[in-house]
Structure 1
């Protein structure tokens, strides 16, 4: 290569889009090596140095450290291996940033106290195994000791949240609130009473869930605009009472139950469930009038 095709450090810096100080540092570190020296002793660089400088700049922009870049340039490790490792590391960082964003958004929207903020952060950072233990303890308190009724096993599975490996911010926020519900002794007790009421009414014969029954049987009355205080409401109410008790209906009134199901749908990526509140409220009004 002729010397007039070589560049001084200033020209290499200009062509590479970096500062002279950066080129000098890379050169001193042996990352971008000079091809020779001028008669005056200044370092000269060729096309190979420009190509290495462009690669270094690209990898640095991607967050790869200089020691690793040196190993790539010296062919001690392949670029695909480095890219895969850094992609995995970035995925972890992105997940952590999403977690922080979700917690901060929840704090801002709910006006949380420092104690609540600390709890939310701790709940959001639970490992998969810790999440399973928390949810398992909650579901055990609700369904434990009720025998091997197949319907309860199915309902328990349907009430189990499964936060994905790469959750969206709204899924993290939903999980935090859902975890708080799981820890709520009042909610556990309310749900347990409702489940025990259903279990007492089985008599060995599986039945559909109370909420589904009420929606199915009372839905036509709501659609037709039937007044719950009128005589026309009686057949609908009688149909509901053939499948559940008034105590079970009151168990559906707890707004935490419906909130849990909606949060569960967000965490698991399901379609939000249809609310049973209008049908339950209509039925209870009709029962009170009767």
Structure 2
């Protein structure tokens, strides 16, 4: 005799607001165990199966796959991990959609020539975009200096812009151009290499890079505020980093010699221009800080000479 407390598959489906086919699907995959079978071989379910079925429906409504639903049902602590994993995956998909939307807007209202160029640039960038090519660019550039690994990581962190979460069409274009820049077999002919990032800038490059990191940090608020280049702690830190790298003392004579050296050193202004377009004006780049400090040194040396 069948227990009055159990539910048939039809009763369970009706109470849960789903089809019999749905109940059978979850049962066959082990998510909804039967409590017994009737004399005629029909499935019977305990009353608590209704709550379990409702939980399954809620999890599936969040687009969790059946395998993940099974994990949550088996372990009380699995839900947090499953939710975190799907939030990461959803964030990646949303970033890809936002990138595609801005890329499509970029292709609107432009000439045929511009559209062809932009399609080529955008097509070379993964979706969502990554920064591996830029990181490799800097690691190759820094390799001859044999810098400590933590310092290399810090430089790469400062030099490589992360794709904006919600990019404008202009930021998509700047990022794509930056990707093309670092992916080229050699820098374009109009590019000048940035002296502050040369691995051979002084006999002690690690000392220089560490000092420049601090100097750029001190100069960033001045650049952000649009203040004219001038004397101060940032400039002293900038000069001091070079002095320590060369094993010299900071002096008016050293500043004159350093100014002369830096004035003829090549630069990569285009790289930093594109990084600035990707990041926006609220985040001054190391290149912008370097330019500000160079101008401050040049002005100071010129004033001393006068």
Q: TM-score, normalised by structure 1?
A: 0.52
SS of the residue aligned with 1:161? Answer: helix
Deviation at 1:136, TM superposition (A): 1.0
Maintained 8 Å contact 1:103/1:117: no
In the alignment, the residues of structure 1 paired with residue 264 and residue 122 of structure 2 have an alpha-carbon distance, to the nearest angstrom, of 33
2:34 maps to 1:33: yes
Give the CA RMSD over aligned residues: 6.0
2:20 maps to 1:17: no
Maintained 8 Å contact 2:7/2:46: yes
Residues 178 and 167 (structure 1), Cα distance of their counterparts in 2 relative to 1, 3 Å cut: closer
Residues 85 and 159 (structure 1), Cα distance of their counterparts in 2 relative to 1, 3 Å cut: closer
Which residue is 2:188 aligned to? Answer: 186
Maintained 8 Å contact 1:253/1:280: no
Residues 14 and 187 (structure 1), Cα distance of their counterparts in 2 relative to 1, 3 Å cut: farther
Deviation at 1:206, TM superposition (A): 7.3
Deviation at 1:22, TM superposition (A): 1.6
Maintained 8 Å contact 1:98/1:168: no
Residues 28 and 178 (structure 1), Cα distance of their counterparts in 2 relative to 1, 3 Å cut: closer
Structure number with greater Rg is 1
Which residue is 2:139 aligned to? Answer: 136
Deviation at 1:67, TM superposition (A): 5.8
2:89 maps to 1:93: yes
Aligned match of 1:115 in 110, 116, 120?
A: 120
Maintained 8 Å contact 1:103/1:121: no
The Cα offsets for residues 200-236 of structure 1, whole Å up to 9 and x where unpaired, read as 8x9xx97986x9799898437xxxxxxxxxxxxxxxx
Number of aligned residue pairs: 249
Residues 81 and 46 (structure 1), Cα distance of their counterparts in 2 relative to 1, 3 Å cut: closer
SS of the residue aligned with 1:47? Answer: coil
In the alignment, the residues of structure 2 paired with residue 217 and residue 67 of structure 1 have an alpha-carbon distance, to the nearest angstrom, of 60
Deviation at 1:55, TM superposition (A): 3.2
In the alignment, the residues of structure 1 paired with residue 41 and residue 27 of structure 2 have an alpha-carbon distance, to the nearest angstrom, of 15
Deviation at 1:169, TM superposition (A): 2.5
The Cα offsets for residues 24-78 of structure 1, whole Å up to 9 and x where unpaired, read as 444566634265549x9875544132133223323433444446656876xxxx4
Give unpaired runs (5+ residues) of structure 2.
Answer: 108-116, 232-251
Map 1:239-278 onto structure 2 (within 5 A): 242=256, 244-245=258-259, 248-249=262-263, 255-256=269-270, 258-259=272-273, 262=276, 271-273=283-285, 275=288
Residues 97 and 9 (structure 1), Cα distance of their counterparts in 2 relative to 1, 3 Å cut: same
Q: TM-score, normalised by structure 2?
A: 0.50
Maintained 8 Å contact 1:178/1:263: no
